[in-house]
Amino acid sequence: MWFAEAPQRVFINEVSVRDGFQIEPQFVPTEQKIALIDALSATGLAKIEITSFVSPKAIPNLRDAEAVAKQIRRHEDVTYVALVPNARGGERALECGLDEINLVMSASETHNRANMRMTCEQSLAQFRGVMDLVRGTDLAVSGCVATSFGCPFEGGIAPARVRWAAEQYLAMGMHAITLADTTGMADPRQVGELVSTFREWFPGVPLTLHFHNTRGMGLANVLAGLAAGATSFDASLGGLGGCPFAPGATGNICTEDLVHMLESSGIPTGVDLDRLLGVARALPDVVGHDVSGQVLKAGKRTELHPAPSLGAGQ
Amino acid sequence: MWFAEAPQRVFINEVSVRDGFQIEPQFVPTEQKIALIDALSATGLAKIEITSFVSPKAIPNLRDAEAVAKQIRRHEDVTYVALVPNARGGERALECGLDEINLVMSASETHNRANMRMTCEQSLAQFRGVMDLVRGTDLAVSGCVATSFGCPFEGGIAPARVRWAAEQYLAMGMHAITLADTTGMADPRQVGELVSTFREWFPGVPLTLHFHNTRGMGLANVLAGLAAGATSFDASLGGLGGCPFAPGATGNICTEDLVHMLESSGIPTGVDLDRLLGVARALPDVVGHDVSGQVLKAGKRTELHPAPSLGAGQ
């Protein structure tokens, strides 16, 4: 075996509609978002992060959060998630009947101030407000520790800081943790070590990894995460999303490339790759530009070509 | 640890000047090839594949093989390699005083006919002619098994076929083997399994892996190869090279992205990454188009950004 412990199933959380679309130069029309989510729902993905219940002023591209959340056709096997920054966002998520909300704070104080315009303590105070609101409801809550693998302003992030953030989340009742490599700084060794350590700190706590392919290491980091026991990953159709500090760099790891790698390696994802590629094929028209996914350009590895005919004597 | 057995040092064979330039739409002028090789020689790379002693009619882009081989400034720590298809090529390599030659046959009979215009038996006969010629000289000879991980015409390649090819090579006196994923079909599990098996079949035989990033799995395959004990990899500056069957897809794994991943992970490569990035930065001007390397676009992960200044009260 290539791993000591091969995963039985990998769970993929599709984030393009939220994490990708929020930074697109053009607003993606509501009906196109809904059509995309509905198409994604039929591919076998475990989760889809469909929008963010933030202020429309903060992220105008997601100003149609309610319309999207209410008009999609829910598939019973898919968990529908939204990002929520505060209690008001939590109310909106409850009103829309989401399955899960995702609360995000950076391990890096500097990044949290830049990204959320709050100190980490202020973020945690907001989250406590959300938890008070959702207590007793069916809404699941996961907490994301952004910049867990490095901060573009501060540099390295001490694992103890990641642990502190996760402890705060769990103490207030969140049921799952995402460790995010927000700007693509993670390397495979670091991923292996942090995932192993996380599993020792928090045995049994569901863990999701969120990687970017900014420096080409995205799928290698997935492999390192898998080898250390992680089985749940965020990914984005076409590799949408990205880092404002690296123009020209790729964004989130690409869902179809991830599924292709895992299924080729014999690791089930539950996703119908052909169907997913069909959805991905329409993405450049939706966003109005080329996207970074490789399998869409090159075809699956199983797609063969006719052998060139050779002249006589050759 | 993230691996059972972490490599002490990884050796990189830079193939851009041969494998990349041979398929560029424009001929790269001889003096630019020489300047590039000289710059690469000062970065700490273990090997550089500088040209191919083929017929100028077959590969017009490398028609300056002798001029390049004779005019580069040799660095004592670098092994200079050329691809050689037959005894005539071997004579030219000897005359130019190369350190090593690389003989290539595909594991796939169909691919060998398409690529080399010979059956595998005809390729092996050519190689025997080369080995007769170089016997008793200082010229090292490595044999590359192309399409070891899959053939774009035939599909899957049986490991037994790869073993057969390597046995033929070793029996005629070659000292090292390269397993090449010629069109980017390898997946990490397959790499781990084939490398482990190869090391059981041929204990002590130096092994190099040649990966393409056609479907985004290139660096993940390196990681799988490392975990199985491989320590030597081909790579191409800027990710030059590629597959004629996948327009728009990336080519060879990118040297600077590979070095960045390995050094970030604490695995020494001997390469000065900053110096290598300096050489890579000039590459788009040499070839006249953008290249696929990610680290050049995004910067090293250690390159920090100034934190945005925030307004009062935020």
A151 a catalytic residue:
no
* Chain B nearest CA to A65, separation (Å): 25
Q: Give the pLDDT of residue A7.
A: 87
Spatial neighbors of A148 by CB under 8 A, at least 6 apart, are A107, A157, A162, A179, A180, A181, A194
Domain count for chain A, please give it.
1
Which residues does chain A have within 8 Å of residue B193's beta carbon, measured at their own beta carbons? 2
Residues in B touching A308 (Cβ below 8 Å)? 114
Share of chain A above pLDDT 70, in %: 94
Structural domain contains residue B109: yes
* pLDDT exceeds 50 at position A194: yes
- Give pLDDT, residue B85: 96
- Give pLDDT tens digits along chain B (314 positions): 356 677 899 999 999 999 999 999 999 999 999 999 999 999 999 999 999 999 999 999 999 999 999 999 999 999 999 999 999 999 999 999 999 999 999 999 999 999 999 999 999 999 999 999 999 999 999 999 999 999 999 999 999 999 999 999 999 999 999 999 999 999 999 999 999 999 999 999 999 999 999 999 999 999 999 999 999 999 999 999 976 656 667 899 999 999 999 999 999 999 999 999 999 999 999 999 999 899 999 999 999 999 887 643 33
The β-bridge partners of A143 are: A103, A177
Q: Which residue of A has its CA nearest to B306?
A: A153
What dihedral do alpha carbons A56, A62, A63, A64 form, nearest 10°? Answer: -160
Q: Which member of B120, B151, B243, B254 is catalytic?
A: B243
Domain annotation covers residue B304: no
Q: Do A314 and B117 touch (CB under 8 A)?
A: yes
pLDDT digits (tens, 9 = 90+) for A230-265: 999 999 999 999 766 566 678 999 999 999 999 999
| Rounded Cα–Cα distance for residues B267 and B254 (Å) | 17
CB contact under 8 A, A214 and B294: yes
Task: Tell me the chain A residues in contact with residue B264 when contact means C-beta distances shorter than 8 Å.
Answer: 187, 189-190, 217
Q: A247, B297: Cβ pair inside 8 Å?
A: yes
Helices and strands of chain B, counted as H and E runs: 12, 8
Tallying the residues shown for chain A, one arrives at 314
B38: phi then psi, degrees, rounded to nearest 5: -60, -40
In a domain, B303, yes or no: no
pLDDT at B7: 86
Residue contact B220–A222, C-beta within 8 A: yes
Q: How far is CA B205 from CA A174, A280, B175, in A?
A: 53, 43, 7
* pLDDT score recorded for residue A232: 98
A264 at the B interface (CB within 8 A)? yes
Residue A1 is predicted with a pLDDT of: 39
Supply the range of the domain harboring residue B129: 11-298
Of B188, B267, B295, the CB nearest to A215: B295
CB-count exposure of residue A180 (10 Å: 0-12, 13-18, 19+): buried
The whole-number pLDDT of residue B240 equals 96
Locate tokens 């393409």: which residue?
B212
Q: Do B215 and A257 touch (CB under 8 A)?
A: yes
Q: Which chain B residue lies closest to A267 (C-alpha atoms)?
A: B189
The reply to whether B155 touches chain A by the CB within 8 Å rule is yes
Smallest Cα distance from B298 to chain A, Å: 5
CB contact (8 A) between residue A297 and residue B254: no
How many other C-beta atoms can be found within 10 angstroms of the C-beta atom of residue B180? 23
**Tokens at B67, concatenated:** 């001029």
Indicate if the pLDDT at residue A138 is higher than 70: yes
Residue of A nearest to B228 (CA): A2
Chain A residue numbers touching B122 (CB-CB < 8 A): none
Beta bridge partners of A178: A144, A208
Q: How far apart are the first and last CA of chain B?
A: 41
pLDDT (mean) for A32-47: 98
**Nearest 10 degrees: CA dihedral of B198, B202, B205, B211?**
-10
Question: How would residue A169 be classed by pLDDT, with cut points 50, 70 and 90?
Answer: very high
| Token pair in block for residue A130 | 């959300």
pLDDT at B313: 36
Query: For residue A242, what pLDDT is reported?
Result: 79
Q: Which residues in chain B are closer than 8 Å to A305, comparing Cβ atoms?
A: 152-153, 245
User: For residue range A25-39, what is the model confidence (pLDDT) as tens digits?
Assistant: 999 999 999 999 999
**Mean pLDDT calculated for residue range A31-51:** 98
Q: Which of B153, B237, B294 to mutate to test the interface with A (most CBs of A within 10 A)?
A: B294
In a domain, B186, yes or no: yes
Q: Is residue B314 part of a domain?
A: no
Task: Name chain A contacts of B155, Cβ cutoff 8 Å.
Answer: 302, 304
Q: Is the predicted pLDDT of residue A4 greater than 50, yes or no?
A: yes
A72 pLDDT more than 60? yes
Q: What is the mean pLDDT of chain A?
A: 94
pLDDT at residue A314 is higher than 50: no
Give ipTM to 2 decimals.
Answer: 0.96
| CB atoms B297 and A266 under 8 Å | no
CA distance B281 to B285: 8
**A236 vs B: CB within 8 A:** no
Report the residue from B153, B219, B302 with minimal CB separation from A220: B219
Cβ separation B314–A264 shorter than 8 A: no
Tell me if A51 is assigned to some domain. Answer: yes
Tell me if A257 and B300 make a contact (CB, 8 A cut-off).
no
pLDDT higher for A236 or A7?
A: A236
**pLDDT for res A298:** 92
Give residue A226's pLDDT. Answer: 96
B2 with A314: Cβ contact below 8 A: no
CA angle A130, A136, A142 (to 5 degrees): 50
C-alpha distance from A283 to closest chain B C-alpha (Å): 16
Residues 6+ apart with CB under 8 A from A83: A18, A49, A51, A52, A53, A54, A89, A101, A102, A103, A104
How far is the C-alpha of B68 from the C-alpha of A282, rounded, in Å? 46
Q: Is residue A162 part of a domain?
A: yes
Q: Are B30 and B72 in contact (CB under 8 A)?
A: no
Are A304 and B155 an interchain contact pair (Cβ–Cβ within 8 Å)? yes
Q: Does B90 touch chain A (CB under 8 A)?
A: no
B152 touches chain A (CB under 8 A): yes
Query: Tens digit of pLDDT for each residue in A86-112?
Result: 999 999 999 999 999 999 999 999 999
- Which of the following is catalytic: A120, A144, A151, A243? A243
DSSP H or E stretch at residue B74: none
Q: How far apart are CA B288 and CA B238, in angstroms?
A: 13
The verdict on a CB contact (< 8 Å) between A216 and B261 is yes
Between B2, B154, B300, which is nearest A227 by CB? B2
The answer to whether B264 contacts chain A (CB < 8 Å) is yes
The per-residue pLDDT for B312 is 38
Question: What are the tens digits of pLDDT across the range A298-309?
Answer: 999 999 999 887
A189 and B2 within 8 Å at the Cβ level: the answer is: yes
Q: Is residue A259 part of a domain?
A: yes
CATH number at residue A161: 3.20.20.70
Please report the pLDDT score of residue B307 as a whole number. Answer: 87
Residue from A294, A295, A297, A309 to probe the interface with B (highest B Cβ count within 10 Å): A294
- Tell which B residues from 21 to 80 touch A, by Cβ distance under 8 Å: none
